């Protein structure tokens, strides 16, 4: 069961008391579904997975599945630098009824290629939930090479990769490997960078796990679905229409600008947890100007 379209890597809204804002999280879920988003990811990097507790991670997954109630695809952020912890989170995701588990490459410990293969083999063999790999070397210090990805892609439950390495040559090599190994019906590439979604789709990617979709879900959805429907001109025009937003949401560490944008739009977001700090004054002005240009405020 592969995924195509737009999945939004949701922010985790916090209350003033630094607890998960469950009501706000549910509100955001409905806002995204109402604006054409195909899938919702809870407890990913944009959801501050590095600073939420494991119990909070499980809670977010449970809320997501409950609130979506079959109206969209649910993706559970279930990675860890500990294989044992990742395995437990994947099993929780399956038990909760999520459609997919997103499993990031283990961070900090920088596993070898054969260690990555065995990490994902253990997760694959421990559950039946479809698994989306997540390669984001700028965050983890590990970049899965194409040969390793293709080995893991042959595992029964592994169905996609969120590829956040911006090297389009690597994406081309990976897509060629997918074709050469007759895996195109079993394993797909999803963009992990909003500003590369249209370029990656031009060489075979099937969609995006998006940050920008938190802020402008309607245009993000239309961009991707226009491309999937063969309307490349509309998709390209929307790419450039959204381009300034795509860039400004990464003017500081994700999800700092995104949470500021949502708060400015009166959407539930709240603060970011330390060690992330609030958006600087200069960048607040930049984000507001882009939101005004797009008529989002």
For residue 243, indicate whether it is catalytic: no
Three-class SS of the chain: CCCCEEEEECCCCECCCCCECHHHHHHHHHHHHHCCCCEEEECCCCCCCCCCCHHHHHHHHHHHHHHHCCCCEEEEECCCCCHHHHHHHHHHHHHHCCCEEEEECCCCCCCCHHHHHHHHHHHHHHCCCCEEEEECHHHHCCCCCHHHHHHHHCCCCEEEEEECCCCHHHHHHHHHHHHHCCCCCCCEEEECCHHHHHHHHCCCCCEEEECHHHCCHHHHHHHHHHHHCCCHHHHHHHHHHHHHHHHHCCCCCCCHHHHHHHHHCCCCCCCCCCCCCCCCHHHHHHHHHHHHHCCCC
Catalytic residue among 100, 120, 134, 267: 134
**pLDDT for res 204:** 98
At 143 the pLDDT is: 95
Whether residue 285 lies inside any domain: the answer is no
143 assigned to some structural domain: yes
Residues 91, 129: Cα–Cα separation, whole Å: 8
Categorize the per-residue pLDDT at 1 as very low, low, confident or very high, splitting at 50, 70 and 90: confident
First to last CA, the chain: 38
**Average pLDDT, stretch 103-128?**
96
pTM score = 0.97
Q: Which is the catalytic residue, given 100, 120, 151, 162?
A: 162
Task: Please check whether residue 101 is in contact with residue 78, taking contact to mean a CB–CB distance below 8 angstroms.
Answer: yes
162 part of the active site: yes
pLDDT of residue 10: 98
Q: Is residue 239 part of a domain?
A: no
Q: Is residue 175 part of a domain?
A: yes
- Residue 254 counted as domain residue: no
Range of the domain at 210: 5-231
Q: Does residue 118 fall inside a structural domain?
A: yes
pLDDT tens per residue, range 138-154 = 999 999 999 999 999 99
> Where do we find the tokens 């989002």?
296
User: Does 240 reside within a domain?
Assistant: no
Report the number of distinct structural domains present in the chain: 1
The enclosing domain of 23 has a CATH number of 3.20.20.70
pLDDT in tens, 154-199: 999 999 999 999 999 999 999 999 999 999 999 999 999 999 999 9
- The per-residue pLDDT of the chain, averaged, comes to 97
Could you check whether the bond before residue 62 is cis, i.e. omega within 30 degrees of 0? no
CB 210 within 8 A of CB 220: yes
Instruction: Please identify which residue in the block is written with the tokens 């100007």.
Output: 289
* In a domain? residue 152: yes
Residue 217 above 90 pLDDT? yes
User: Do residues 242 and 219 touch, judged by C-beta distance below 8 A?
Assistant: yes
Distance CA 161, CA 59 (A): 24
Closest among 240, 259, 257, 241 to 249, alpha carbons compared: 257
What average pLDDT does this structure show over 239-260? Answer: 98
Supply the pLDDT for residue 56.
98
278: confidence class by pLDDT, cuts 50, 70, 90:
very high
């Amino acid at each position: 069961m592969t995924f195509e379209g737009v999945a939004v890597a949701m922010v985790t809204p916090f209350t003033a008391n630094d607890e998960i804002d469950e009501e706000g999280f549910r509100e955001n879920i409905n806002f995204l579904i109402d604006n054409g988003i195909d899938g919702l990811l809870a407890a990913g990097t944009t959801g501050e997975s590095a600073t939420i507790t494991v119990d909070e991670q499980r809670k977010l997954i449970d809320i997501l599945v409950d609130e979506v109630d079959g109206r969209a695809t649910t993706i559970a952020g279930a990675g860890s630098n500990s294989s044992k912890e990742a395995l437990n989170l994947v099993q929780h995701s399956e038990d909760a009824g999520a459609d997919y588990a997103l499993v990031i490459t283990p961070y900090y410990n920088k596993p070898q290629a054969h260690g990555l293969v065995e990490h994902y083999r253990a997760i694959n063999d421990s559950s039946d939930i479809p698994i989306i790999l997540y390669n984001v070397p700028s965050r983890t210090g590990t970049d899965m090479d194409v040969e390793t990805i293709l080995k893991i892609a042959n595992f029964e439950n592994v169905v996609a990769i969120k590829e956040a390495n911006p090297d389009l040559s690597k994406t081309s090599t990976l897509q060629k490997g997918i074709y050469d190994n007759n895996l195109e019906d079993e394993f797909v590439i999803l963009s992990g960078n909003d500003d590369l979604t249209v370029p990656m789709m031009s060489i075979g990617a099937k969609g995006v796990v998006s940050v920008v979709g938190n802020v402008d879900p309607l245009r993000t959805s239309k961009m991707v679905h226009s491309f999937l429907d063969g309307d490349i001109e509309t998709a390209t025009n929307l790419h450039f229409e959204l381009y300034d937003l795509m860039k400004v949401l990464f003017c500081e560490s994700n999800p700092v600008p995104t949470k500021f944008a949502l708060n400015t739009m009166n959407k539930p977001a709240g603060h970011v947890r330390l060690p992330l700090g609030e958006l600087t004054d200069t960048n607040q002005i930049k984000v507001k100007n882009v939101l005004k240009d797009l008529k989002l405020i």
